[in-house]
Amino acid sequence: MGHGMWATNDARPTLKCIFLQLVGALKIKPLDVILDWGGGCGHQLALFNYLYGTFGINIDLSDKGIDWQHKHYPNTVGCAQDGTDLSNIPSNSVDHVISYAALYHIKPEQQCSVLLQFLRILRPGGNIWVGWIKRSSTGGYIGVPCSFWTKCLKQEEGGHNTNLTAQIDVCADEMKHWGTTVYSWPIHDSLIVTKLN
């Protein structure tokens, strides 16, 4: 008999714990605009909207997931599209970008390109959280080390100088325990980047 995600039939308590930790770490507040890259059915955005009055935009490849989101979470927006091209999202238009267990599905050079696009769409002072950046021991997905993200931020997007400055606030590229539980902040294998200008 299968147990679903993370060896349980109900991952909601675990996910809620993770996303509630993000509220403090990212300084999420009412009316903030959050882009969830690879957000599936929009559960995270619905939770932030319900508890904190944020506005959410989900970018995901799955038409079915976005359709489900539209039916169940009318206070969020979902767009089924290839998330490696965010040119349809205006610059300086969102307060936070989150991506949990999604970015590692694309090649490292694409991960860097997407991170730089996240910086373009962020408002100054906004931040990015990428969760689950660790490497797969079985090769099932492509995590990258912290040194990769540092080098990525020094690059130029698309060969053009972005004139963006950003800082890495947290980078933990392996599962670690902080505090008393695995879900104490900072959450396991995470990247947090803040846009400075």
Q: What is the pLDDT of residues 10-55, one digit of tens each?
A: 667 777 777 777 888 899 999 999 999 999 999 889 999 999 999 9
Backbone conformation region of residue 7, classed left if phi is above 0, alpha if psi is from -120 to 50, else beta: left
Tens of pLDDT along 140-189? 667 788 889 988 988 754 455 556 688 888 887 665 544 444 444 445 67
Taking the model in full, what pTM does it have?
Answer: 0.84
Is the pLDDT assigned to residue 62 strictly greater than 90?
Answer: yes
CA-CA distance, 193 to 126, in Å (whole number)? 9
**And the tokens for 179?**
């505090």
Residue 120 CB contacts under 8 Å (≥ 6 apart), including other chains? 86, 91, 157, 162, 164
DSSP codes joined into one string, the chain = ----GGGSS--HHHHHHHHHHHHHHHT--TT-EEEEET-TTSHHHHHHHHHH--EEEEEES-HHHHHHHHHH-TTEEEEES-TT--TTSPTT-EEEEEEES-GGGS-HHHHHHHHHHHHHHEEEEEEEEEE--PPPTTSSS----HHHHHHHHTS-GGGS-----EEEEEE--S---BTTBTTSSSPSSEEEEEE--
* pLDDT (average), residues 91-107: 93
**And the tokens for 1?**
């008999």
- For the chain, the average pLDDT equals 82
